[in-house]
Amino acid sequence: MFASALKKKLNYVQGLQAQRPDHIFLVRGLDTTGQPAWYYVMVDRGKRDAFRDKSGVAILKLTDFGAILHSGFGENPPEHIRLRMAEEYGFTSN
């Protein structure tokens, strides 16, 4: 019974992930301390246009638009995170 429920949940999560790569964005900027930082954000479907309209805004609270999947300091995410995003969400970026 447990294995069946777990399999259903995994299939559901994988289905969501497969539908969402066009709602995942790699955001680069400065964090609240002024350090370079990057964030992978899964934007809620209904907030995608508003999120895109805010592109280039100096201060943006990312969690107002969705969930932060991964984040870190520096200008670019490390290779292992880029690979994980490609594997889990089908997201690739330059």
pLDDT of residue 88: 87
89: helix, coil or strand? helix
Please tell me the distance from the alpha carbon of residue 19 to that of residue 9, in angstroms, as a whole number.
16
- The residue assigned the tokens 């002024």 is 34
Q: Is the pTM of this model over 0.85?
A: no
pLDDT of residue 6: 46
pLDDT of residue 22: 74
Query: In the chain, which stretches have pLDDT less than 70?
Result: 1-21, 94
